[in-house]
Amino acid sequence: MEHTPMIITSRQNAQVSLACKLGEKKHRQSEKMFRFDGVKLFCEAVQRGVELCFILVDETLATGVDAKARELYGIGICDAGCRILYLSHELFVKISDENAPEGIICVAKYIDKFHKIATIDSSNEELARILSPDGGRALLCESLRDPGNVGTVIRTAFAFGFDWLIFSGDCADLYNPKVLRGAMGTLFSQRILRVDDLSAAIGMMRASGRRVYAAALDESAARLGSFAFGRADCAVIGNEGHGLSRDVLDACDASVFIPMTGDAESLNASVAAAVLMWEMCRND
């Protein structure tokens, strides 16, 4: 006889309560765990080897979730490799981050194998390698606060084959639900370094032989497309409203601007990042 799973109806359940708390950054950081909704992200996480702690499934949608995952990715709910809890539809809708919940919420451990946090220290051999030309192609971002922009930058960097994204510590939390949605699963694969001092990181990069260009419109800025980026060259994107700080501008080799027509003052930060990344890869 097939076993009928217990249906959870209370938000006080320990796992349900934890999943709800992970909507806040302070709880994600203290638990070193994060949550995400949807069939695609579930399948991408399983494929990329993300360590899932448990999953919550809407008991009224469970069959459809399993069928969709198998049809699109050849992965079923049972492939999660973790505990599966079934929730009543009413409870699931209340705790989901989605406007139209697909019926599955995953809770996973932080992805330390892809995402690193570093204090700038020249004696740190791993950090020195990442920042050197041996670390591969990299884009730097300062103070990107909008989670949607951060997610889009991650997705674009992965699409263009960037080896590293380097974020200042005050960029949006990588595990924010909006970042996860914007990145569309690429957060589970893209290597990301968060540093406490971006200008110092730029100094290390230049000392290792890289050229670093600030995306900024100033008198000496070169027009994008007027020169060829080398594979070791990097660019830095600034805050959505204020651009790059003076410390970061001064730390770079030079500035580059994206030509625009009309009365537009600037591009969205994630769009500017995409244009720069395309140009950096154009001569490959």
**Same domain for 80 and 129?**
no
Domain count, the chain: 2
pLDDT score of 1? 37
**Same domain for 104 and 122?**
no
pLDDT score of 265? 73
CATH number at residue 270: 3.40.1280.10
Provide DSSP, the chain.
Answer: -PPPPPEE--TTSHHHHHHHHTTSHHHHHHHTEEEEESHHHHHHHHHTT--EEEEEEETTTHHHHHHHHHHHHS--GGGG-SEEEEE-HHHHHHH-SSSS--SEEEEEE--TTTEEEE---TT-HHHHHHHSGGG--EEEE-----HHHHHHHHHHHHHTT-SEEEEETTSPPTTSHHHHHHHTTGGGTS-EEEES-HHHHHHHHHHTT--EEEE---TTPEETTSSPPPTT-EEEE-BTTTBS-HHHHHHSSEEEE----TT-----HHHHHHHHHHHHHTT-
Last residue of one domain, picked from the residues 51, 82, 109? 109
**Same domain for 133 and 256?**
yes
pTM higher than 0.85: yes
Last residue of one domain, picked from the residues 76, 109, 142? 109
**Same domain for 211 and 142?**
yes
**Same domain for 151 and 249?**
yes
Asked if the structure places residue 2 within a domain, the reply is: no
**Same domain for 25 and 78?**
yes
**Same domain for 81 and 181?**
no
Asked if the structure places residue 180 within a domain, the reply is: yes
**Same domain for 197 and 98?**
no
**Same domain for 148 and 270?**
yes
Asked if the structure places residue 247 within a domain, the reply is: yes
**Same domain for 133 and 228?**
yes
Last residue of one domain, picked from the residues 109, 127, 156? 109
Asked if the structure places residue 236 within a domain, the reply is: yes
User: What is the residue-level pLDDT of the chain in tens, covering all 284 positions?
Assistant: 345 678 999 999 999 999 999 999 999 999 999 999 999 999 999 999 999 999 999 999 999 999 999 999 999 999 999 999 999 999 999 999 999 999 999 999 999 989 999 999 888 999 999 999 999 999 999 999 999 999 999 999 999 999 999 999 999 999 999 999 999 999 999 999 999 999 999 999 999 999 999 999 887 899 999 999 999 999 999 998 889 999 999 999 999 999 988 777 778 999 999 999 999 998 77
Asked if the structure places residue 67 within a domain, the reply is: yes
**Same domain for 123 and 222?**
yes
CATH number at residue 75: 3.30.1330.30
**Same domain for 50 and 163?**
no
Range of the domain at 194: 115-281
Asked if the structure places residue 1 within a domain, the reply is: no
